[in-house]
Amino acid sequence: MIEVKDLHKSFGNTHILKGITTSFEKGKTSLVIGQSGSGKTVFLKCLLGLFDYEEGAISYDGKIFGNLNSDEKRNIRSKIGMVFQGSALFDSMTIAENVMFPLRMFTKQSKSEMEDRVNFVLKRVNLENAHHKMPSEASGGMQKRVAIARAIVNKPKYLFCDEPNSGLDPKTAIVIDNLIQEITDEYNITTVINSHDMNSVMEIGEKIVFLKNGHKAWEGSKDTIFKTDNDAVTNFVYSSELFKKVRKMYLEENQ
């Protein structure tokens, strides 16, 4: 479980995160949503320890990250899997080498054990025949799946995804969403996804945190988001005619 208390972050005189308090439970897929510039990526990078913050606390399973020494921080980070917006695959390595990388860095497994694990996770993300391809030879959807395989290969306790669907067609985006959901259930991990894809919100948002101008404007789930009368959420989530109709139908069905 990840808990965030009163998180503040500024860049110079610009106050980006203004006292965010929330928590992300184990075994659940949580989504952080909001408009571009609402502070989602900064929030995620604070969670990951890539940005320092001025005030507040982030704790991983009860351990406050900011109070840990460098070895303890390293230990927590070795349990984190991250899927970056641009996949961030190492372009000098093949797909199999990319996926094997965390194992080579953090485990003492033999080469055959590592190969077995890589084969298993690549099969899990439906990429069993792509071992020897370079990342530049893979499509956007394949790169995202490789990034997911690399993130889960070392059996992480926490999985973070920064806009995993950006740049993907709707069908591939659904495949990626379902894959993340299945992996979260299968490994019972804490998953946090940054997204502004409303399909993801409706499909897999077991917990949804809505950010607006650096504040937490609302939190709930994919079920309660249909019922909320919070203006900020409804203006953002139901900005398209399609989603307005979907909401109307949902509310009519559940009256």
Partner 1 sequence: MTYLHNIGAYFIMVKDMFRKPTKWSVMKGLILKDIDDLIIGSFGIVAFISFFVGGVVTIQTALNISNPLIPKYLVGFATRQSVILEFAPTFISIIMAGKVGSFITSSIGTMRVTEQIDALEVMGINAINYLVFPKFVALMLYPFVISIAMFLGILGGMAACIYGGFSTLDDYITGIQLDFMPFHITYAFIKTIVFAFLLATIPSFYGFFMKGGALEVGKASTTAFVWTSVAIILLNYIITQLLLS
Contacting residue, 5, 23, 35, 84, with partner 1 by CB under 8 A: 84
Residue 48 interacting with partner 1 (CB under 8 A):
yes
Nearer Cβ to partner 1, position 11 or 129? Answer: 11
Residue 64 interacting with partner 1 (CB under 8 A):
no
Residue 88 interacting with partner 1 (CB under 8 A):
yes
Residue 105 interacting with partner 1 (CB under 8 A):
yes
From the list 42-50, 55-63, 186-194, 246-254, the region that binds partner 1 by CB under 8 A is 42-50
From the list 18-26, 48-56, 180-188, 237-245, the region that binds partner 1 by CB under 8 A is 48-56
**Count of residues binding partner 1 (CB under 8 A)?**
25
Residue 75 interacting with partner 1 (CB under 8 A):
yes
Residue 70 interacting with partner 1 (CB under 8 A):
yes
CA distance 139 to 167: 11
Estimate to the nearest angstrom the gap between the alpha carbon of 54 and the chain centroid.
Answer: 23
| Region 149-208 residues binding partner 1, contact defined as CB under 8 A | 160
Q: Are 228 and 217 in contact (CB under 8 A)?
A: no
| Region 224-253 residues binding partner 1, contact defined as CB under 8 A | none
CA distance 36 to 139: 25
Q: Are 29 and 205 in contact (CB under 8 A)?
A: yes
The least CB distance from residue 201 to partner 1, in Å, is 24
C-alpha distances (whole Å) from 60 to each of 33, 66, 191, 192 are: 21, 10, 12, 13
Contacting residue, 80, 114, 149, 225, with partner 1 by CB under 8 A: 80
Residue 104 interacting with partner 1 (CB under 8 A):
yes
**Closest Cα to residue 60, out of 71, 69, 48?**
48
What is the contact surface with partner 1 in residues (CB under 8 A)? Answer: 48-50, 70, 73-78, 80, 82, 84-86, 88-92, 102, 104-106, 160
